[in-house]
Structure 1
């Protein structure tokens, strides 16, 4: 089983890989510091063709964009595993009757984002989103990091995060990054018992992984 976070930009889409890496490292290390875990997390990335016909290094100063037959693989230096990221168009050109259907459930589930439909109108003009996937069996550090990377992308683009496949408590999405940081992997802020228990278990394993 895998879970995903989708990041919908609102204000801009022209960010660089370096910006994503730098802010994500800052936010991940800050999170671990809050747990009294000494860390100096460094993220590494490369670009894969979807069928693994090639793997390329990434120019960190290039635009945070790649084609739909590629994915970007994020890893934490020294930690096995990682998270794969995809870059896609929002508009479904194959569904003429409802090309923006991706937004319908987001609107229905929204509880915290003000002027949400106006922000969606801005997102439609950008017509791009990113999706970060975490496969089952990843290390605890990766479980935490892929969400924080997602929130960092949202922060850089003035956007929001969405999930509907169990990546986190569905009732809290869509979420802007300042809200996401308040409760993501914060067991005391979680009322879903199973999710709270899983978060506690993951947090307990991070110090061991980062030794």
Structure 2
């Protein structure tokens, strides 16, 4: 079995340590130790901790996007696409709790604030599936004409909280409950 490369070991170690201890609780020396590399080795792959944190986010975003796109059909009705994306987001989060914890850390930090600002102000190069869906829905009159940040809050807020509560053991999600939650999110958005 081939040994993972050092860059992947460093990313994996950073993912777990940051998810567990937060950005400040996971110094580069601790990441290096967990990855089994010298502290200086990290800097061959990542200029600094900020670059490492952002690279890990980009990697997780790629994985999540690939998961969301599995079975996603642009020609489907708006509601069906929303249900698909939201179900996929929730399932990804609950089946990848370490990824979810890292993403939570990221989105609730200055890194995530800058990322969201760029997305909502149109400075991000990458288009967001949800933003496209919401823009189309508002144009069609299917979705309430609210600011994009509000639409995203109505769609994601409940998913984030319920994923967290599932991971913490406060609620057990099954297919029926997931479907009901996603339908409730849709009901909060539709005109």
The normalised TM-score by structure 2 is: 0.26
Greater RCO (CA < 8 Å, at least 6 residues apart): 1
Higher helix fraction: Structure 1 or Structure 2?
2
